[in-house]
A and B are shown apart, each in its own frame.
Chain A
Amino acid sequence: MIGTALFFLFAGFAIACAVSMVYQKNPLYSAVSLVGVFVALSCIYVTLAAPFIAVVQILIYAGAIMVLVIFVIMLLNLDEDKPLTRLRYLYAVGGGLGLILLVQTMFIFYAVLRAPKDPVDTSQTAGKSLSIGQAMYTEYLLPVEIVGIMLLMAIIGGVILVRRLEPGQLKLVVDSELDKRHEEEEKDDYRIAF
Chain B
Amino acid sequence: MIVAYTVLAERKVLGWIQGRIGPNRVGPWGVLQPFADLLKFILKEDLVPDKSTKFIYFLAPLVALTCALLPIVVYPFGPTITTVDWSFLPYGLGDGITRLPLTIAQIDVGVLFVLAITSVGVYGIALAGWSSNSKYSLMGGLRSSAQMISYELAMGASILGVVMLAGTLDLNGIIYAQITSPFRWFIIPQIIGFVVFLIAAFAETNRVPFDLPEAETELVAGFHTEYSALKFALFFMAEYVNMFTVSVMCVVLFLGGWYVPGLGRIFEPGSIPYAAVSHVAFIGKICAFLFLYIWVRGTLPRFRFDQLMNFGWKFLLPVALGNVILTIIVVYFLNS
Contact = CB atoms under 8 A, between A and B. Distances in A.
Chains A and B touch (C-beta atoms under 8 A apart) = yes
Interface of A: 28-29, 32, 35, 51-52, 55-56, 58-59, 62-64, 67-68, 70-71, 74-75, 128-129
Interface residues of B, number: 29
Given A62-B120, A67-B119, A71-B149, A52 B142 contact: no
17 contacts: A28-B130, A32-B59, A32-B123, A32-B127, A51-B107, A55-B116, A56-B112, A63-B120, A63-B122, A67-B122, A70-B123, A70-B126, A71-B142, A74-B138, A75-B142, A128-B108, A129-B112
Interface string B103-115: 0000111001101
A63 B56 contact: no
Nearest to B107: A51
B134 to A, nearest CB: 13
A166 B204 CA distance: 34
A158 B127 CA distance: 25
Nearest to B130: A74
Interface string B131-146: 0000000100110011
A64 B129 CA distance: 18
Contact of A58 (B116, B141, B149, B169): B116
Nearest to A77: B138
Nearest to A39: B120
Determine chain B's interface SS by DSSP, over half rule: helix
A51 B108 contact: yes
Given A58-B116, A59-B119, A64-B119, A71 B138 contact: no
B117 interface: yes
Contact of B116 (A63, A67, A71): A63
Given A55-B112, A74-B130, A128-B108, A68 B149 contact: yes
Determine the main DSSP class of A at the interface with B. helix
Contacts of B152: 63
Contacts of B127: 28, 32, 70
Nearest to A128: B108
A74 B126 contact: yes
A20 to B, nearest CB: 11
Interface in B257-312: none
Given A28-B56, A71-B145, A71-B146, A129 B122 contact: no
Contacts of A28: 53, 56, 127, 130
Contacts of A71: 126, 142, 145-146, 149
Contacts of A75: 142
A67 B122 CA distance: 8
Given A67-B119, A67-B122, A32 B109 contact: no
Nearest to B149: A67
Given A28-B130, A71-B142, A74-B126, A63 B119 contact: yes
A59 B149 CA distance: 12
B113 A67 contact: no
Interface string B243-258: 0000000000000000
